[in-house]
């Protein structure tokens, strides 16, 4: 998702840009635009996410890749932000690594727990951490309160495809998106990590963080029968990992839940031919490394592909190279956009929107060019959407 790593997404794989079954569907007459949201703020340093606490629209939190989360009042004229937490001493932010995700406990602040997703500082290995923090007496996150919930060893030396987004679903379980471990063609083991169920890599995970020690396994996870054989110690296990919710992902950089339906929408960054949007379901397999979008990669062996799910939408390299998943719009400022899924591309700055009930796979083409490096979208408690520009500024999505 980052400028210095953009070329890594385009390496290897792909055998052309064959058309999918259906072309782009007509969109309602909505003219999109962007405008600076908080123009008086000092630019952020490599921002990768923005979010608000549950049921609290008074403040915004911005996650900086280097290891700092900043907070400021939700006021268009605000000129200052402050540090909510600083864990830079623990973070390796080279390439696509760093402080990559943040999630408030659904009952925050009555339950004062906040979760951070980051990669560790060590240069000799790559480790992803999902950690729990609690508030200090000043209402900020206490760095010393860290409880490591999940520690995931990553392949060395690849520093890409770490995923890193985390969020709570309506079921109040914590969802964790992890990439395939990095490098081209998912060359990890015989069939690649995306199709290997004894690793957490290349998966969407779902865990229960309510236990005071460790974590629990939701009883309907696909491999919940192996709940006593958790893979969180080193990302692998002797049996299929009970943390897995869905599989076959390459690099699920940004994804979100539809606040109205609970549907999970995900942008999976492609390799050399296609960027894809998936609507993720329990037990779904989204194809990688067997497929990149709807295109067969020809990489063999690639796995048995159980419960294979085609993408909802995809696009080729002529319009973008690095998808950034967004949100189903549930605001009121842009009536023609309500119920449509909005997403973008980091490299080209294009923004698309598609119908939430889109099927089968569509090739999206028509788009709005924001001229931004879209590292993430943000959704306010009021349902309005914002854009995080990796260059440091925040924008509001507008429309007419």
Q: What are 188-226's pLDDT values in tens digits?
A: 999 999 999 999 999 999 999 999 889 999 999 999 999
Q: Can you tell me the mean pLDDT for 361-370? A: 90
Q: What is the DSSP string of 8-60?
A: HHTSS--------SEEPPPPPS--EEEEESSTTSPPPSSEEEEE--TT-TTEE
> Longest Cα pair distance anywhere in the chain, in angstroms?
58
Residue 7 DSSP symbol = H
pLDDT (0 to 100) of residue 25: 56
pLDDT (0 to 100) of residue 159: 86
- Position 19 confidence tier, pLDDT thresholds 50, 70, 90: very low
State how far the Cα of 277 lies from the Cα of 313, in Å rounded to an integer: 5
Q: Please give the helix or strand (H or E) that residue 6 lies within, else none.
A: helix 6-9
Q: Which residue has the tokens 């500082």?
A: 121
Q: Can you tell me the mean pLDDT for 377-386? A: 98
Comparing 266 with 19, the larger pLDDT belongs to 266
Query: What's the pTM value of the predicted model, to 2 decimals?
Result: 0.94
Strands 313-316 and 295-296: what pairing? unpaired
- Position 26 confidence tier, pLDDT thresholds 50, 70, 90: low
Closest CA relative to residue 141, chosen from 119, 105, 162, 113: 113
pLDDT (0 to 100) of residue 28: 65
Q: Can you tell me the mean pLDDT for 21-26? A: 57
Q: Examine the pLDDT at 317 and tell me if it is beyond 50.
A: yes
Q: What percent of the chain has pLDDT over 70?
A: 92
Q: Can you tell me the mean pLDDT for 4-15? A: 35
Which two structure tokens, joined as six digits, stand for 2?
């980052």
Pair 273, 395: CB distance under 8 Å: no
Q: What are the Cα distances from residue 142, in Å, to 51, 85, 111, 113, 164?
A: 19, 7, 14, 10, 21
């Amino acid at each position: 998702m980052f400028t210095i790593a953009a070329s890594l997404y385009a390496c290897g794989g792909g055998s052309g840009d064959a058309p999918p079954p259906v072309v782009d569907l007509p969109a309602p007459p909505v003219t999109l635009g962007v405008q600076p949201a908080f123009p008086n703020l000092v630019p952020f340093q490599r921002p990768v996410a923005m979010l608000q606490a549950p049921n609290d629209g008074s403040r915004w939190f911005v996650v900086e890749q280097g290891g700092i989360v900043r907070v400021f009042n939700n006021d268009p004229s605000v000129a200052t932000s402050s540090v909510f937490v600083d864990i830079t001493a623990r973070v390796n932010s080279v390439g696509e690594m760093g402080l990559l995700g943040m999630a408030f406990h659904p009952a925050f602040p009555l339950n004062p727990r906040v979760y951070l997703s980051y990669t560790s500082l060590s240069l000799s290995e790559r480790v992803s951490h999902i950690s729990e923090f609690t508030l200090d007496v000043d209402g900020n996150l206490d760095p010393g309160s860290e409880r490591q919930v999940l520690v995931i060893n990553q392949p060395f030396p690849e520093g890409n495809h770490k995923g890193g987004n985390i969020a709570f679903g309506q079921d109040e379980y914590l969802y964790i998106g992890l990439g395939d471990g990095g490098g081209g063609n998912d060359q990890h083991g015989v069939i690649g990590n995306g199709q290997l169920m004894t690793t957490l890599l290349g998966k969407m995970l779902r865990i229960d963080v309510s236990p005071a020690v460790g974590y629990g396994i939701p009883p309907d996870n696909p491999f919940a029968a192996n709940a006593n054989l958790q893979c969180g110690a080193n990302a692998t296990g002797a049996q299929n990992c009970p943390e897995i919710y869905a599989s076959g992902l390459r690099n699920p950089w940004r994804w979100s839940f539809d606040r109205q339906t609970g549907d999970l929408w995900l942008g999976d960054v492609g390799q050399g031919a296609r960027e894809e949007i998936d609507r993720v379901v329990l037990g779904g397999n989204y194809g990688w490394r067997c497929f990149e979008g709807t295109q067969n990669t020809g990489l063999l062996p690639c796995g048995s592909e159980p419960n294979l799910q085609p993408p909802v939408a995809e696009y080729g390299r002529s319009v973008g190279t690095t998808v950034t998943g967004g949100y189903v719009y549930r605001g009121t400022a842009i009536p023609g956009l309500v119920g449509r899924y909005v997403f973008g591309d980091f490299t080209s700055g294009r923004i698309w929107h598609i119908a939430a009930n889109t099927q089968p796979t569509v090739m999206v083409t028509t788009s709005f060019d924001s001229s931004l490096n879209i590292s993430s979208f943000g959704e306010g408690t009021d349902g309005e959407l914002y854009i995080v520009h990796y260059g440091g500024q925040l924008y509001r999505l507008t429309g007419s």
